């Protein structure tokens, strides 16, 4: 007899935002404002819409709450990131998205990653209207070898973009357009 309930997953969706008025400290994260939220917060809240997205700059969005139980991440992680040009035409060559965990002892562990995805895209800049073109990259990560999250861990999404100095990573607090979104499969 097969017990299907033992293999049931539930998916949680998280959005990456940069919330200026709240500093989070946990493990290796000190005074971070980049967080993962389950729902967008009020448009009236002060947030930062973009961050520099060039080679060597790492963006970490922390889920600032304990999970309260032991969970396993297993299945397909999917989502999207958005990159825009700012100030001049920009070139984007690759990106990488990673789901990681951190504990209170500052140990960070990469759980699953897309690896470096080569894209070689040019994002135009309209100097007359001061508007840059944007591009949305969807990603999928096969997470079939499960990883464990305990009540002592918090997880985060790490985004790395290899672009020139005019590339910006979008993470605005706007439910009308999902800039940075990730769906994570959990199993008890």
DSSP letter for 179, please: S
pLDDT, tens digit (0-9, with 9 covering 90-100), for 131-157:
999 999 999 999 988 999 998 899 999
For 6, which DSSP code? G
Please name the CATH architecture into which domain 10-187 falls.
Answer: Sandwich (2.60)
Quick: pLDDT tens for 50-63. 999 998 899 999 99
> What is the average per-residue pLDDT within 83-93?
93
Q: What residue ranges do the domains of the chain occupy?
A: 10-187
DSSP state string for 62-76: E--S--SS-EEEEEE
pTM, 2 dp: 0.91
């Amino acid at each position: 007899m097969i017990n299907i309930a033992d293999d049931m997953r539930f998916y949680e969706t998280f959005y990456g935002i940069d919330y200026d008025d709240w500093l989070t400290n946990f493990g290796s994260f000190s005074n971070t404002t980049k967080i993962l939220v389950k729902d967008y917060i009020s448009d009236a809240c002060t947030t930062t819409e973009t961050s520099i997205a060039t080679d060597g700059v790492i963006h970490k969005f922390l889920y600032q709450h304990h999970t309260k139980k032991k969970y396993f991440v297993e299945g397909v992680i999917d989502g999207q990131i958005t990159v825009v040009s700012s100030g001049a035409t920009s070139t984007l060559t690759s990106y990488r998205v990673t789901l990681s965990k951190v504990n209170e002892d500052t140990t960070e562990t990469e759980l699953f990653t897309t690896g470096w995805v080569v894209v070689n895209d040019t994002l135009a800049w309209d100097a007359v209207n001061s508007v840059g073109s944007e591009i949305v990259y969807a990603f999928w990560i096969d997470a079939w070898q499960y990883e464990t999250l305990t009540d002592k861990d918090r997880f985060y999404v790490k985004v790395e973009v290899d672009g020139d100095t005019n590339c910006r990573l979008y993470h605005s607090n706007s439910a009308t357009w999902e800039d940075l979104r990730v769906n994570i499969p959990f199993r008890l």
